[in-house]
Structure 1
Amino acid sequence: MDERIHEHAAVLVNWSARVSEGDNVVVSVDEGAHDLAVAVAAELGDVGANMSVQYDSSEVERAYTKAHDGEFEESTHELALYEESTHELALYEESDVMLRLGGGRNTSADADVPPTKRQAAMQANQNVREAVMDTDWVSTVHPTRSLAQQAGMAYEEYQDFVYDAVLRDWEELADQMAKMKEILDAGSEVRLVKEDTDITMSIEGRTAVNSAASVAYDSHNLPSGEVFTAPYGTEGEVFFDVPMTLRGTRVQNVHLTFEDGEVVDYSADAGEAVLGEILDTDEGARRLGELGIGMNRGIDRFTDSILFDEKMGDTVHMAVGRAYDANLPEGESGNDSAVHVDMITDVSEDSRMEVDGEVVQRNGVFRWEDGFEG
């Protein structure tokens, strides 16, 4: 086994999830992530944690979802298919940590699942997702041939790319990102301007997260390398020019228009139907739940994987849907939704980001970096 797989597992268990002796840990293993799961199991055994393993397969989920029959409820116009998975809910309510090991065989496995069925399944399992969010959860990915193909890279090239992003000096990067967190925490309004984009978002009272790939930083992705907050009161328009795959469908050149914090108009050159499906999931799906600023310059190309692409330096991403509690004052509820879908815009050229009228990033360069032009 590639030694980097063991290093990946060690970072995940010890730095990212901070697993302790006696912790109840659920490991969700995608079809192609077997080798990483073996290495993670060894790490958990060394720590003395209790492990439960779940098999996570898009193809299996597709078969189950497509086979379900149901009828529309006239009163709600929703598809009555699913009951809450109380047995799965009980598992996560008794868990301290959840480790999601991605790496499937087919990145478009569920592309033909009807939107109504997909939405019904997500709504029925909202409580399960909430229970997962209450754990010290961390999501990572094992490099597979399907992901390499999606990224347009040779398999060995893609392996190098993944491990360059994962096996980093996270403490050093955390120190760099703390500068952006400080600016956002003190700010009231963010404005982003570039071609086809002029959007403002309120952030007053929010707490930004220094997402340094560890639950100790309220960060739940490995790799990470972003600073994010929960905006509200969004006004204006934004153009997302980084292609992505959403629900198995290629989506390109998304344009959203906001009024009074809500999407009132949308378009996409490709995948517009899927975009509409997402925005129609529930009331919260038309509002922003996240503004994220990519700061991981170890990620040097787009790979059509949100786990990597949204962390890349010279990018900004926004997510429609659910806001994270870590960004909110204690006792306050942010935007609520069954979805949280990120979309990315490239800010490497002809762009600026302002906080309270002061430029903090221009053409991808932060004001504390060499080459910044105020």
Structure 2
Amino acid sequence: MDERVREHAELLVDWSARVEPGDDVVVSVAEDAHELGVAVAEALGERGATVTPLYGSAELSRAYLKGAEAADGEDGPEFDDDPAVDRAIFDAADVYLRIGGGRNTTATADVSSETRQAYAKARQAVREARMDTDWVSTVHPTRSLAQQAGMAYEEYREFVYDAVLRDWEALADEMARMKTVLDEGDEVRIVTERDGAPDTDVRMSIAGRTAVNSAASVAYDSHNLPSGEVFTAPYDTEGTAFFDVPMTIDATRVRDVRLVFEGGEVVDFAAGAGEDALASVLDTDPGARRLGELGIGMNRGIDRFTDSILFDEKMGDTVHLAVGRAYDACLPDGESGNDSAVHVDMITDVQRDSRLEVDGEVVQRNGVFRWEEGFEA
């Protein structure tokens, strides 16, 4: 076993999930993530935790959903909206670890959008129970992910470990600067230009919200490994946002997305490719047309786009907005943020002709933060 697999497992268990003796840990392992799953199980055993393994197979999920489609009635597939066994597993768990790395990144491409929406809505109680645990999501470098990224497998493996095996304490200290700016701010404005004219000019309120220093640990209210972003829950969004980084939504390639906001809601949208998939997301429920997240990427160990939101949204020189659910960690106690069955991130490259303002002051220009060398006010 590559020693970096063990390092990844130990980082996930100790730094990210903060597993303690006696914790009940649910571990979902994708088809080709077996090696990391084994290393994680070993680490959990050494720490005195209890392990419940799950098989996180996209191909199995496709088979189930296609079977439901084949048996559906006039109103489409129906799913139990309170699957008691699944919910009970997460209700009893202290920690949930998801290890991605399947055989086919588009395994569910031929499942209809209506079936996806129905299944997502039916699983909301399970999703809420899962998110009440100390959950962390990561991936094992696999050939399918390398292919999706357009990289040789060996090259992709180096990329993943450069992003994951970081000095997270040092990065947390740097990201704390951005968190302070957002916590003290009332309004964020993002402007990007193309061919001398703005293609993004969007404003959003962040007053009263708390930013998360997402340093790849539940101790920071952070649930992804790798991570490396600072995010908050905006509202009252106005303007136009353009997202030039390609992404995959529901196994469909989507690129060049434009969203127009009025009164905090998406009132118009377009995409250069995958517009039907985008429409399906926005039509999921009323909350799917409002923002749930503003995220600022700060992980310089991620140096290229790979069509994986786990990595792409954390990349330095990017900003992302997510339609759908807002995270409770960003909200005042007792306040409900935007609610939705979806949370879909869309990314803008801000390396050139861009600026990020907080209360009218430029905090980042052309990908360079004001505390970094080379910043131009």
In structure 2, give the amino acid aligned to 1:98: Y
Gaps of 5+ in 2: 194-198
Identical aligned pairs, as a percentage?
71
Hey, what does 2:202 align to over in structure 1? 199
Question: How much does 1:79 deviate?
Answer: 5.3
Is residue 294–residue 311 contact of structure 1 (8 Å, CA) maintained in 2?
yes
Hey, what does 2:246 align to over in structure 1? 243
In structure 2, give the amino acid aligned to 1:160: E
Hey, what does 2:261 align to over in structure 1? 258
Hey, what does 1:55 align to over in structure 2? 55
Q: Distance in 2 between matches of 1:85 and 1:21?
A: 29
Q: Secondary structure at the match of 1:25?
A: strand
In structure 1, give the amino acid aligned to 2:338: N
Q: Distance in 2 between matches of 1:265 and 1:303?
A: 28
2:216 aligned to 209, 213, 217, which one? 213
Q: Secondary structure at the match of 1:281?
A: coil
Question: How much does 1:221 deviate?
Answer: 0.2
Hey, what does 1:118 align to over in structure 2? 116
Q: Distance in 1 between matches of 2:74 and 2:345?
A: 29
Question: How much does 1:82 deviate?
Answer: 3.5
Hey, what does 1:334 align to over in structure 2? 337
Hey, what does 1:88 align to over in structure 2? 86
Q: Distance in 1 between matches of 2:231 and 2:28?
A: 25
Q: Distance in 1 between matches of 2:111 and 2:297?
A: 32
User: Are 1:70 and 2:68 counterparts?
Assistant: no
In structure 2, give the amino acid aligned to 1:46: E
Q: Distance in 1 between matches of 2:367 and 2:192?
A: 11
Q: Distance in 2 between matches of 1:336 and 1:263?
A: 15
Is residue 236–residue 259 contact of structure 1 (8 Å, CA) maintained in 2?
yes
2:292 aligned to 289, 293, 296, which one? 289
Question: How much does 1:72 deviate?
Answer: 5.5
Instruction: After superposition, give the CA deviation of every residue in 1:121-169 in whole Å (9 maximum; x if it has no partner).
Output: 1101101000011000000000000000000110000000000110010
In structure 2, give the amino acid aligned to 1:80: E
In structure 1, give the amino acid aligned to 2:72: G
- Return closer, same or farther for 1:132/1:304 CA change in 2, 3 Å cut-off: same
Question: How much does 1:80 deviate?
Answer: 3.3
In structure 2, give the amino acid aligned to 1:199: V
Q: Distance in 2 between matches of 1:304 and 1:7?
A: 25
Q: Distance in 2 between matches of 1:227 and 1:35?
A: 31
Gaps of 5+ in 1: none
User: Are 1:312 and 2:315 counterparts?
Assistant: yes
Q: TM-score, normalised by structure 1?
A: 0.98
Q: Distance in 2 between matches of 1:229 and 1:79?
A: 35
Question: How much does 1:81 deviate?
Answer: 3.7
Question: How much does 1:70 deviate?
Answer: 3.0
In structure 2, give the amino acid aligned to 1:70: D
Q: Distance in 2 between matches of 1:83 and 1:228?
A: 30
User: Are 1:231 and 2:219 counterparts?
Assistant: no
Q: Distance in 1 between matches of 2:244 and 2:78?
A: 36
Instruction: After superposition, give the CA deviation of every residue in 1:305-330 in whole Å (9 maximum; x if it has no partner).
Output: 00000000000001000000000001
Is residue 230–residue 288 contact of structure 1 (8 Å, CA) maintained in 2?
yes
Q: Distance in 1 between matches of 2:320 and 2:133?
A: 25
Is residue 81–residue 125 contact of structure 2 (8 Å, CA) maintained in 1?
no
Hey, what does 1:33 align to over in structure 2? 33
Q: Secondary structure at the match of 1:80?
A: coil
2:98 aligned to 89, 92, 100, which one? 100
Hey, what does 2:45 align to over in structure 1? 45
Q: Distance in 2 between matches of 1:199 and 1:85?
A: 40
User: Are 1:298 and 2:301 counterparts?
Assistant: yes
Question: How much does 1:85 deviate?
Answer: 1.2
Q: Secondary structure at the match of 1:122?
A: helix
